[in-house]
Structure 1
Amino acid sequence: MARTLDDEPQGAVSFADEQTRQHLQVLVESVATLAGFEQSAITLRRSHDFLILVAAGVADGFAGTRVPVEAMEEEMSRADDWGVWRFVPHERVSDEVLPYSHIPDVVPLDVEDAWHPLDMLFAPLHDDDGVLRGMLSVDSPRNGRKPGPEQMKVLTQYAGVARTLVLLALERESLAERVRITDEARAIVRQALGEPSLELVLEACRSAVVDCFQAAGMWLTAFHEDGVHATTSYAVGSDTRPPFEEIDDVVIGLAHRYWDDQYVAHFSPAHPSQPGLPEPDAERLLAFLERIGIASVLFVPLGAGPECLGFLVLTRVSGTPEWTAVERDAALEIGRDLGRAVANTRQLARERAVADHLRQIDGYRIEMVNTLAHELRTPLFSMTANLELLDVDSLEPEDQRSVAAASRGAERMRVVIEDLLTMARIADPQREFVPEQVDLRQVLLDVTEECHHAAAAKSQECRIDTPDEPVHVAGNPQELHRMLANLASNAIKYSPRGAGIDVRLARVDGLVRVSITDPGIGISERDRDHLFREFFRSTNPQALSVPGTGMGLAIVDRIVRRHSGHVDVVSELGEGTTVSVTLPSLDPSLDPSLETDVSEVSGSKRS
């Protein structure tokens, strides 16, 4: 028997199927006991060597020894046939096997049929195709003699049992490995489901799926809602795409039926009959597969919920194993995962189409508003200029009132045009937003100064509470000025004469908050839900009596969101309103790229 000469100790052999390994261990112990030998072992053929899987009557650590294939093949070539067993007498033992030989510490008997310590007796174990898969070996007969006819009869029986158990062990080991790889492939498929398109999903997992099923390739057809089907394929070592569409009329119908039945079809010349497949169609499929060099396929429906979304076909060539029940079950699970991938890509396609449509509508709206506003500017300028040229003092009182009304109308039109242009500008996704350091305290002081005359005209008092030092945020100074001006203007317009308006700027937990509180007419609960909608005007008759475009708060909301902030409105009808804007605070020392001279910002804003 072979043993390793390595210095490292050999531990117990791990095996994919531990229960089968234990059965083999019982077998070698039975051979040693009942056939009259001190030692026995079962060896498995691996890719580059022979592995002693189990042994009896030897020191611990002997199981696990690996013997080079070349050494064992050399020894088998020197053996005599003893039925299913092979015997190598000690004088024929090759030099290649001696370094791996276990030499029992016994003295041969002085008889003709004495067993020599270097004698070898083993039974090669072949599978149904004649491939050597392992061997059963025995050593050191208890009577010191070569086995006679009765012993050989017992050994022959044990060789048959050993062959059955070894082939079973290898099959179960292969199956366990296949299940493990299949689980890994499913994990890869599920991880790939995060990819944004079905092509990327397949690219991320196709080789793992093909490998785990020992397939030659695969193709997948996804059903689209518009009736057009998309097919993608992958073949190991080939870039050629067969004409799969030739058989679409057959397999598409099968996919729907098999998804309803949760059925995976194993189709090949040996298995041409499948549910729902007429014989002429089966012949077409067989002819097609033969033409593209495929011996058998596993046809897997894809879907999500009750809907069939496509099918997956795994292929094998001649000389490869039949599809097992475990593989069919695993393929159905992968089909469900890939069905979810098809459903996800469908949903993403819908969302992209909606987003593209909305972008087109938004772009058209912005273009229309810009064009309309610019086209209105020219006649408005002409009308305003001619009104200013009139000698109003020489006109009759009635004519003076008409000119004044026209001037007010022109001013309202100017405000509407400016609001339209502002809304289009801040809503334009193509317009780059480059924030800079802004002192919001200074912006607020500038706004209250500009609104002073409007408040004084109504005998209103603006009470301002701000920190003594600058309060920095990152943003566009002109937009922030417009946002605060709109809020202050609303507070003045909708508050009664003599009212007090409170303006407060504060830092709160790393944020900056501006609050403007007025004791005005307030906002109903129904109107609060629509405040930031473009062109919305309140349903309150008092509010409607005040001129406005219905765009002021919509502009405020757009600007605040562009600056990563939010707006809160607290109001009760008839009791006043508080509007609060919260923006991220800025520490200039953390981002020098945002440093800007405050006086320059203020100066550019004032101009």
Structure 2
Amino acid sequence: MLVESVATLAGFEQSAITLRRCRDYLILVAAGVEEGFVGTRVPLEAMEEEMSRADDWGAWRYVPHERASAEVLAYSHIPDTVPLDVEDAWHPLDMLFAPLHDDDGVLRGLLSVDSPRNGRKPGPEQLAVLTQYAGVARTLVLLALERESLAEQVRITGEARQIVRRALGEPSLELVLEACRAAVTECFGAIGMWLTAFVEDGEHAMTSYAVGSDETPPFSEIDDVVIRLAHRYWTDQYVAHFSHSHADQPGLPAADAERLLVFLDRIGIGSVLFVPLGAGPECLGFLVLTRIRDTPEWTTVEREAALDIGRDLGRAVANARQLAQERAVADHLRRIDGYRMEMVNTLGHELRTPLFSMTANLELLDVDNLGPEDQRSVAAASRGAERMRAVIEDLLTMAQVADPQREFVPEMVDLRQVLLDVAEECHHAAAAKSQDCRVEAPEEPILVAGRSDELHRMLANLASNAIKYSPEGAAIDVRLTATDDVVRVAFADSGIGISERDQRDLFREFFRSTNPHALARPGTGMGLAIVDRIVRRHSGQIDVASQLGQGTTVSVTLPAFDAALSGGPSS
């Protein structure tokens, strides 16, 4: 509209606007001439040289045809007209343009006109109209460029925020930064960045990135200044643009500002954007974006976007700290558990020898020739030795199945056969209490991946519990089923049951029920804890359904054997 208005109202056939789109070129963006010229690139240096030869007509510059350079004319539209035979005739190679400068004197574009309708150079009245249009053109062009620049900044910084937020899904702060640092640097028009994360106990970790360089400047030299600023700026939610022309910053003494400037000069940085990182009220570090020069300045949009990114990265630092703490706790617990298992294993083996000696000596006694009182004493000692043997065996089994260092190499196991073996072994104990143990299992093998000895111990413990805690003459139902994906074995009894309170601690080592009826039965409190460990080692799940006084059903679900995953059947 501007181009058409200038041509129409100022009395010219042609007009155009050329904008400075990059450092070295002007680009024709609107022209009232024949098609094909929009997008023409004119070297800035050639145009500036042309202006140096021009006559100053106030807001306009006039270059008569005899002074026009061949280089600029090569980029120009030359009207096909014949000049008038008068003194002030307009020549087709004459040039008339108005330079459009911003408030800092930087050339941002040109408004040009050509081919006056009267064929003459503009007189005072026509030049006055042109001057008014030059002012309007400057205002509109600068507004359009500013609006365009702002929209571009919003787009770019929005992209930077999205990139950072996508990167937050990475499991560590290092991977978060690796995933986003190049994009953030590019989006902000920076040449590099460094980030310092506060760890704990006054410690901190630093990482840096620079386009085209693997060197890490000695940022630690200024840590005492920037760490103090980070805490203050997080509290104030303030982002600092620091450079020689912006050295006066809140909370920064002149001497410290001078130190920072000397340091930045030494590493070739002209301007930085200092961004605090944090989560909630806590400052967790800082991010610094760097540029070689102080122009262009960091805009308000960039500062606000950088603060948003600082909040996001602050959450990443908080997550990394939390994860490090959890790993430390987990490592500590693993060491404790390993030490506990090692102590239990050692203790069990050390107790076996004296227990064997005591049991052997008890067996050597001629009990038949002892008096009734002595016979009762020997029987009590034998029962105590048997309970101790059971405890030791359970301790050693627990140490074995709970040892994280013990390699677990699963094999193909027929769980149906293991269950039938267990049923046969427990038959005598059930018959002694006149109990009816019913086993329901398919006719074909039921295959799982695991260790046969551990699965045997798991089923034996469950069968033993069902028999122990069921009354005389009770029925115990055992059912083995299988689908394509899982195998399930369930032990259902009509015994004393388990309270809801006891069920919460049922799989804890050495746990004994609060039920007096359960305490009256002998036990080590290790049986179900061993079952739970074995089930977990086999990637299975154990479930308990019970009501006090109405019986218990314990179900174990294991993954079915997959020949493809296991590399085929093995024995």
Equivalent of 2:435, from 460, 469, 475? 460
Q: Does 1:53 align with 2:29?
A: yes
Separation in 2, partners of 1:275, 1:119? 56
Do the aligned partners of residues 422 and 592 (structure 1) sit closer, same or farther apart at CA in structure 2, a change above 3 Å counting?
Answer: closer
SS at match of 2:490: strand
Query: Equivalences for 1:563-578 in 2 at 5 Å?
Result: 563-578=538-553
Change (3 A) 1:323 1:75: closer
Name the CA shift for 1:378/1:539 in 2 (closer, same or farther; >3 Å): same
**Percent of aligned pairs with the same amino acid:** 76
Task: Give the equivalent residue in structure 1 for 2:166.
Answer: 191
Whichever residue aligns with residue 470 of structure 2, its letter is S
Using the TM superposition, name which of 42-51 and 521-530 deviates more.
42-51
- Give, in whole Å, the separation in 1 of the partners of 2:456 and 2:188: 66
Aligned 8 A contact 1:78 1:92 in 2: no
CA distance in 1, matches of 2:146, 2:170: 36
Measure the CA separation in 1 of the matches of 2:480 and 2:76.
92
The residue correspondences of 1:242-391 to structure 2 (distance < 5 A) are 242-318=217-293, 320-391=295-366
* Deviation readout 1:273-311 (Å, 9 max, x if unpaired): 333334444444445444544444333222111112222
Moved more, 33-42 or 169-178: 169-178
Given the alignment, which residue of 68, 83, 94 partners 2:70?
94
1:17 corresponding residue in structure 2: none
Q: Cα deviation per residue 1:491-519 (whole Å; 9 max; x = unaligned)?
A: 11111222221111123584322111112
Contact 1:437 1:594 in 2 (8 A): no
Quote how far apart the aligned CAs of 1:425 are.
Answer: 1.4
Cα drift, residue 37 of structure 1 = 0.8
SS at match of 1:451: helix
Q: Is the 8 A contact 1:566 1:582 kept in 2?
A: yes
Q: TM-score, normalised by structure 1?
A: 0.84
Q: CA deviation at 1:92?
A: 5.9
Residue identity in the other structure for 2:386: E
Deviation (angstroms), 1:71: 11
Q: Is the 8 A contact 1:440 1:472 kept in 2?
A: yes
Please report how far the alpha carbon of residue 62 of structure 1 lies from its aligned counterpart in structure 2 after TM superposition. Answer: 4.7
Alignment of 1:14-29 (within 5 A): 26-29=1-4
Kindly provide the CA deviation profile for residues 171-216 of structure 1, in whole angstroms up to 9, marking residues without a partner as x.
4433332332222222222222233433333333333333333334
State the SS of the aligned residue for 1:315.
strand
Q: Secondary structure at the match of 1:596?
A: coil
Cα deviation for residue 363 of structure 1 reads: 0.9
Task: Give the 3 Å change call, closer, same or farther, for CA 65–293 of structure 1 in structure 2.
Answer: closer
Check the 8 A contact 1:505/1:512 in 2, yes or no.
yes
What is the deviation of 1:106? 4.9
Q: Deviations over 1:139-178 (max 9, x none)?
A: 2221123333433343344334434443443344333323
Give per-residue Cα distances to partners, 1:330-363, cap 9 Å, x unaligned.
2211211121122111111111111111111111
Amino acid of the residue matched to residue 369 of structure 1? V
Aligned partner of 1:492 in structure 2 is 467
Q: 1:445 to 1:289 in 2, by over 3 A?
A: same
SS in 1 for 2:284: strand
Query: Residue 245 of structure 1: CA displacement?
Result: 4.1
Distance 1:550 1:351, change over 3 A: same
Counterpart amino acid of 1:593? G
Q: Is 2:389 aligned against 1:448?
A: no
* Matching of residue 85 in structure 1 with residue 74 in structure 2: no
Partner of 2:570: 596
Structure 1 Cα separation of the partners of residues 51 and 132 of structure 2: 24
Q: Output one character per residue of 1:384-403: Cα deviation in whole Å (capped at 9) or x when no partner.
A: 33333444444444444333
User: CA–CA distance in 1 between the matches of 2:227 and 2:562?
Assistant: 62
1:438-492: CA deviation from partner (whole Å, max 9, x where unpaired):
2221111111011111112222221111122222222222211111111111111
Deviations along 1:384-434, one digit per CA (max 9) or x if unpaired, are 333334444444444443333333222222221221121111111222222
CA distance in 1, matches of 2:52, 2:222: 56
- C-alpha offsets along residues 20-65 of structure 1, whole Å, 9 cap, x if unaligned? xxxxxx3222211221112211112344754321223x45x55743
Task: Using structure 2 for the length normalisation, give the TM-score.
Answer: 0.89
SS in 1 for 2:361: helix
The answer as to whether partners of 1:435 and 1:594 remain within 8 angstroms in 2 is: no
- Equivalent in the alignment of 2:557: 582
* Contact 1:464–1:504 (8 Å) recurs in 2: yes
Change (3 A) 1:247 1:82: closer
The aligned amino acid for 1:211 is E
Q: Does 1:69 align with 2:38?
A: no
**Is residue 540 from structure 1 mapped to residue 510 from structure 2 by the alignment?**
no
Tell me, in whole angstroms, the C-alpha distance in 1 between the residues paired with 2:302 and 2:562: 61
Question: RMSD of the TM alignment (CA)?
Answer: 3.1
Instruction: Give the letter aligned to residue 555 of structure 1.
Output: I
How far off is 1:537 after superposition? Answer: 0.9
Is it true that 1:524 corresponds to 2:524 in the alignment? no
User: How far off is 1:378 after superposition?
Assistant: 1.8
CA distance in 2, matches of 1:227, 1:255: 14
For 1:273, what is the secondary structure of its paired residue?
coil
Which residue in 2 is equivalent to 1:36? 11
**Within 1, Cα distance between the matches of 2:511 and 2:566?**
41
The 1:570/1:509 distance shift into structure 2, 3 A limit, reads: farther
Letter paired with 1:145:
R
Shift of 1:131: 5.4
Distance of aligned partners of 1:63 and 1:442 in 2 relative to their CA distance in 1, 3 Å threshold: farther
Shift in alpha-carbon separation, 1:95–1:523, aligned structure 2, 3 A = closer
Aligned to 1:11: none
Amino acid at match of 1:357: H
What SS class does the counterpart of residue 270 from structure 1 fall into? helix
Quick check: 1:474 aligned with 2:457? no
Judge which range, 125-134 or 366-375, deviates more: 125-134
Give the one of 194, 201, 207 matched to 1:219.
Answer: 194
CA contact (8 A) 1:74 1:94 kept: no
Cα distance in 1 for residues equivalent to 2:271 and 2:51: 38
